């Protein structure tokens, strides 16, 4: 009898599902893909078999109406079946679900039963943009393979170790408790994976290494990790706090909100949308894609230059703050779309921070590679590294570890 070792990882958004099928015996990525524009008329499914019976078969793409998440998952199941890696296989050990908000209840990956699902649903007010789609994804996957364990892996979980003095906002304690207002942090799966991979890259035990991780994608967050334990992160109650992001403002004086309401006459929903969807790089210069910001800044565009400078300035402030929080930093690690690809951002963040032991070697920093790598000069006091993130692998690992006991 073979031991089931495949894990399907699902990342369900409001109108999209990203997925990967992994065989944890390798681990080997068997297939990856996404369904987008679900329920929006013309949906698109992109599927690529990467290993296993259909390896090398190439990317398949099809468009057509996919009305809801159930149809989307059925379409994914059909693609996987065509590859000979169908979800009805006894090889499927678990389905791992990315769940954005775990509140204070979920600090570990958790096998989903009715009670857990109800609890995830009850957290919707804390993550109204994300948890509803996560719940839907869980419901449809459970309906498809009721016999296979469904595991929730929470974006907030890695940050649950933050000390109270870092997790608390300095507001009235009773009010905070009543409304579950505290700093939760997000991108935890990425921060966990990258901080561990950085220790491996340095050839040192995780427990001995202090790391600052900068996860710079569309959303962006920083974390301070001491010996594998997260002690501080930049996102808070929601993913709005902290760094300048693609479309989010990050930190601002909360009184900006009162001012916009009282003086500008904006509603709460309008302010929410302004700060989450029309701010950050987009708000400052009209583009949220760092590639475009860099191109325009290179052409001398003033607003793009300002956006880049504001983005980098905020990062420097966090690097300085987290150096103080950790006391000793062994590595500053860049990850996600911007962190992995934009050497200009890495260079600009460490510029002028030689006093903190931070520098990059321009040649090493210019190298583009999918591999984890050190980009600081030989003998630097603090290693500066680029570690590509792999949230799907981390979710699969955590889910598999839970069910394969
Ligand atoms: P998400 O948060 O959506 O997972 P990613 O981690 O994929 O985001 O990062 C997406 C962002 O990465 C894009 O918006 C873009 O700004 C940036 N990016 C991707 N490639 C490059 C590149 N070569 N140079 C600069 N920025 C890049």
The rounded Cα 216 to chain-centroid distance in angstroms is: 9
**Ligand 1: residue whose CA is nearest its atom 8:** 217
Looking at the fold, whether 232 and 365 belong to one and the same domain comes out as yes
pLDDT grade, residue 1 (50/70/90)?
very low
Residue 2 has pLDDT above 70, yes or no: no
Is residue 246 within 6 Å of ligand 1 at its C-beta? yes
Q: Which of 23, 155, 301, 330 is catalytic?
A: 155
Is 217 flagged in the annotation as binding? Answer: yes
Is residue 289 within 6 Å of ligand 1 at its C-beta? yes
Looking at the fold, whether 216 and 359 belong to one and the same domain comes out as yes
- pLDDT confidence of residue 383: 98
Looking at the fold, whether 118 and 221 belong to one and the same domain comes out as no
Is 259 flagged in the annotation as binding? Answer: no
Looking at the fold, whether 118 and 232 belong to one and the same domain comes out as no
Looking at the fold, whether 146 and 231 belong to one and the same domain comes out as no
Q: Give percent of the chain with pLDDT exceeding 70.
A: 100
Domain boundary among 123, 154, 185: 154
Residue 255 has, within 13 A of its CA and on its CB side, a CA count of 0
Backbone φ and ψ of 29, nearest 5°: -85, 115
- pLDDT confidence of residue 3: 83
Beta bridge mates, 62: 45
What average pLDDT does the structure give for the chain?
96
pTM score of the predicted model: 0.95
Assess whether 155 carries a catalytic annotation: yes
Give how many domains the chain has, as a whole number.
2
- Tell me the C-alpha to C-alpha distance, in Å, between residue 339 and each of 115, 384, 388: 38, 12, 8
Q: Is residue 309 a part of any domain in this protein?
A: yes
| Chain segment 245-265, per-residue pLDDT in tens | 999 999 999 999 999 999 999
Looking at the fold, whether 211 and 349 belong to one and the same domain comes out as yes
Q: Are 211 and 225 in contact (CB under 8 A)?
A: yes
Is 337 flagged in the annotation as binding? Answer: yes
Determine the atom of ligand 1 nearest the C-alpha atom of 294.
Answer: 25
pLDDT grade, residue 52 (50/70/90)?
confident
Residue 344 has pLDDT above 80, yes or no: yes
- pLDDT confidence of residue 8: 97
Residue 314 has pLDDT above 90, yes or no: yes
Per the structure, the complete domain to which residue 143 belongs is given by: 6-154
Which residue, among 253, 320, 251, has the nearest Cα to 280 in the 3D structure?
251
Looking at the fold, whether 111 and 254 belong to one and the same domain comes out as no
Residue 56 has pLDDT above 90, yes or no: no
CATH of the domain at 112: 3.30.420.40
* Angle between helices 290-298 and 302-326 in degrees, nearest 10: 120
Is residue 341 within 6 Å of ligand 1 at its C-beta? yes
Rg (CA), the chain: 22
CA–CA gap between residue 366 and residue 377 (Å, rounded): 13
| Chain segment 85-121, per-residue pLDDT in tens | 999 999 999 999 999 999 999 999 999 999 999 999 9
- pLDDT confidence of residue 276: 96
Looking at the fold, whether 212 and 77 belong to one and the same domain comes out as no
């Amino acid at each position: 009898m073979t031991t089931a070792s495949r894990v399907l990882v699902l990342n369900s958004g409001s109108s999209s599902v990203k997925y990967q099928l992994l065989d944890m015996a390798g681990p080997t990525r068997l297939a990856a893909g996404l369904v987008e524009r679900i329920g929006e008329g013309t949906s698109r499914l992109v599927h690529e078999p990467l290993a296993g019976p259909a390896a090398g078969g190439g990317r398949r793409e099809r468009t057509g109406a996919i009305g809801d998440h159930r149809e989307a998952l059925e379409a994914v199941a059909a693609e996987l079946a065509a590859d000979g890696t169908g979800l009805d296989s006894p090889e499927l050990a678990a389905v791992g679900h990315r769940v954005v908000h775990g509140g204070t209840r979920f600090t570990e990956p958790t096998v989903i039963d009715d009670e857990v699902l109800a609890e995830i649903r009850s957290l919707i007010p804390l993550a109204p943009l994300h948890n509803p789609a996560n719940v839907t994804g869980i419901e449809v996957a459970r309906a498809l393979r009721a016999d296979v364990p469904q595991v929730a892996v929470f974006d907030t979980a890695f940050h649950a170790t933050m000390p109270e003095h870092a997790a608390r906002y300095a507001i009235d304690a009773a009010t905070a408790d009543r409304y579950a207002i505290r700093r939760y942090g997000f991108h935890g799966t990425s921060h966990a994976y990258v901080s561990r991979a950085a220790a491996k890259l340095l050839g040192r035990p995780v427990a001995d290494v202090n790391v600052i991780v900068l996860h710079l994608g569309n959303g962006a967050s920083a974390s301070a990790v001491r010996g594998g334990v997260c002690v501080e992160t930049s996102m808070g109650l929601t993913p709005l706090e902290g760094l300048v992001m693609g479309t989010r403002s990050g930190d601002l004086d909360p009184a900006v909100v009162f001012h916009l309401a009282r003086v500008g006459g904006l509603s709460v929903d309008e302010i929410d949308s302004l700060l989450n969807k029309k701010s950050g790089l987009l708000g400052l210069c009209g583009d949220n894609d760092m590639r475009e910001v860099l191109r325009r800044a290179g052409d001398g565009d003033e607003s793009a230059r300002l956006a880049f400078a504001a983005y980098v300035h905020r990062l420097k402030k966090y690097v300085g703050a987290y150096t103080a929080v950790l006391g000793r930093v062994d590595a500053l690690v860049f990850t996600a779309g911007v962190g992995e690809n934009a050497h200009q951002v890495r260079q600009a963040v460490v510029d002028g921070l030689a006093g903190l032991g931070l520098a990059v070697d321009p040649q090493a920093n210019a190298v583009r590679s999918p591999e984890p790598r050190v980009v600081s000069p030989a003998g630097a006091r603090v290693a500066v590294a680029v570690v590509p993130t792999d949230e799907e692998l981390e979710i699969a690992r955590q889910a598999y570890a839970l069910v394969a006991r």
